[in-house]
Structure 1
Amino acid sequence: MDFISGQELLQLCEENGCPISDIMIQREISEYGATSEEIMGRMKEAYRIMKEACHKPLDQPVPSIGGLIGGEAKKVRDRRRQGKSICGSMLSKAITYSLAVLEVNASMGLIVAAPTAGSSGVLPGLLLALEEEFSLDDEQIISGLFTASAVGYLIMRNASVAGAQAGCQAEVGAASAMAAAAAAEIMGGTPQQCMDAASAALVNLLGLVCDPVAGLVECPCQSRNVIGASNALVCAEMALAGIRQLIPFDQMVDTMMTVGRSIPFELRETALGGCAATEAACAKTCQIFKN
């Protein structure tokens, strides 16, 4: 059940008549010599941590280590509860939960780095919103997490998920592709539709730079997690509607890495360019290090 490309993954799904999640579960079993119960147990624990990180800041807002973020998730949640959201319940929840996870991460709380700490809000943000809005159960979401894992594995194997190597397109972009594929499968999509959703997600965030203010995973990282979750939702919707992607997933992964190598080092997690180099950001950075 091993695969090293999206095309090989799709072939395995076709040959075995099963979704991507089943192939990934079998790969994990054979790769690590674990039982299916052990593999499922580990993923259930990962999702438990994800859900806890989505909810904790809503009841107990905590400022980040750098003081750049904290309390944003609760504000969006409260606006939705007041009936004022212009995004609708589904997207508003995805925004809320994505913001929340980054608050937990930036305050040294427990998160699941899927695929990285800086992009950890994308996947749980979208999937928990889906679970609540469509009255799904944890088992359905966990199946989606295995699909997300397959996409993340392919990006890590054939490119990178490190902002220092390929910019934020490799972190939030990869997370968005993972979430898009997961959402597509959870909502009844075929393996091909899952890969189309993942490809579209990479297309939409291609070239996104990594420019953390003061070198902290707080700003603009938090809002970019929201964009990653929103992008994943849109891409899954298009794929489920039957919109095919011109560029296959494997080619988009290669392209992302090529673009990543061409991004100037100032825009690859060094905090020397982009948002980090603005006047406001530099003033805030001086204040942080002075304190």
Structure 2
Amino acid sequence: MSAEKRIQLRGVCCVCGRLHALKKDGETLVNHGYTVEWGYFDGTCGGANNVHYGHSAAPAFLADYIEGLRRFRESLPTRIESVEATLKNKNEAYQQMKADPSFSYVDGSQMRLEIANLRVRFANLWELYHVGIQSMIVVAEKAIADWKAVAPVAVDLDVEAREVREAKAQAKAVKDAERKAKALAQAERKAKALNNSNSKAAKLEAALKEQVHCALLYQGATVKSWIQAFAGERDALSVYATVRADHWLSLGEPREELIYNVNDYALEVRRDKDGKAGMCIYQVCVMPTLAAYRRMFQ
């Protein structure tokens, strides 16, 4: 035997225009439009606990609602004046506090908070009076003009729950596919970058194995030049370390350790001395063991 269906009647709220559940009477809307923060129930929509928009009593409710909005709008100038006067008094009191030589910024923190809250309240009331309430009245009047009888909507809660689960699963599948596509694209970019790096490294190795022009620089000036073919980058770094050490020793004693002066040295390797081929294909400006700076195939 199949389980009994869970059916919930829903209707459109006259005030917020959203679909909400109806009470057991099938006419009035349940509480909605509220928040529950810090354990407190705060706020309720003006259409809660009243008939739904499709009910025959909806136009009369909307007319009363409009009248209430107008009365509320008429009371706003007095409230605005009251808040404005309080704000003025608080500002004057704060200025008097600041005039005291013993005043500190911390002392006025509570007063500044009260002034900030009053400014927000004043701005909200001003906006309600000049814009908010009138726009709400216009919307309610249009709702009365457009009204027509509409029966509540019967919603199968089990079907709805299943549809929600399916929608969530579909959204998750889409996100997973996007995540995989992004990961794949990133992997392809990394692979391409690695291939380019390997290609440059291979080109450098091949270039160093030819007869190249080498120059040892000390404090920006060339102190030794020679032509040589290297076995590869490691061999070039080894030769650079040897030539650099020999030059350092040739400068005479007493001197500091070479380790403290390696940044004064540089190695440049070129295909030729002049012309386009004379561009520096390999350059080391710091210790090779600290990932030597290079400028390859510019």
TM bucket (normalised to shorter chain) is: under 0.3
State which structure, 1 or 2, has the greater radius of gyration over its C-alpha atoms: 2
User: How does the TM-score come out when normalised to structure 2?
Assistant: 0.20
TM-score using structure 1 length: 0.20
Indicate the structure with greater strand content: 2
Decide which structure has greater helix share: 1
Question: Which one scores higher on RCO, CA 8 angstroms, separation ≥ 6?
Answer: 1
